[in-house]
Amino acid sequence: MRYVLAIILILLFGYSLFLVLQNSTELSVDLLFTQVPAMRLGLLLLLTLALGVVLGLLLGVQIFRVFQNNWEIKRLRKDIDRLRKEQIQAAQLAASEAAATTRHEKTVMDIHPEDRSSNPL
């Protein structure tokens, strides 16, 4: 992967150098707040390309972060809903077990064998 990246960077540098050398026409550039008296057209193309790439990457990262946060929020909400359902089921199970234990205590009598022998029939 490093070799592929290095080759791509070398090709990009070579293309940039060729672009600057091929477009050697000088022209004045009027920016909003200032004016550059003379600049090569190839250099101007490279600067605008670099500025566009940097701004595009910054905006892309920011937009991706927003999407990533939204995805994380949705995942966490699903986890919360699942955990709530598990808690409700556990509480219902515990309540039914407690009710069954209470009914069992009310209906079962402890009868000892010695109690049975003392009672003559």
pTM score above 0.85: no
Contact 23, 45 (CB under 8 A): yes
pLDDT digits (tens, 9 = 90+) for 82-116: 999 999 999 999 988 888 877 666 555 555 556 55
Local confidence band at 80 (pLDDT 50, 70, 90 cut-offs): very high
Is the pLDDT higher at 118 or at 102?
Answer: 102
Segment 52-76 mean pLDDT: 89
Local confidence band at 7 (pLDDT 50, 70, 90 cut-offs): very high
Q: Cα dihedral angle (100, 101, 107, 113), rounded to 10 degrees? A: 140
- Evaluate if residue 17 carries a pLDDT over 90: no
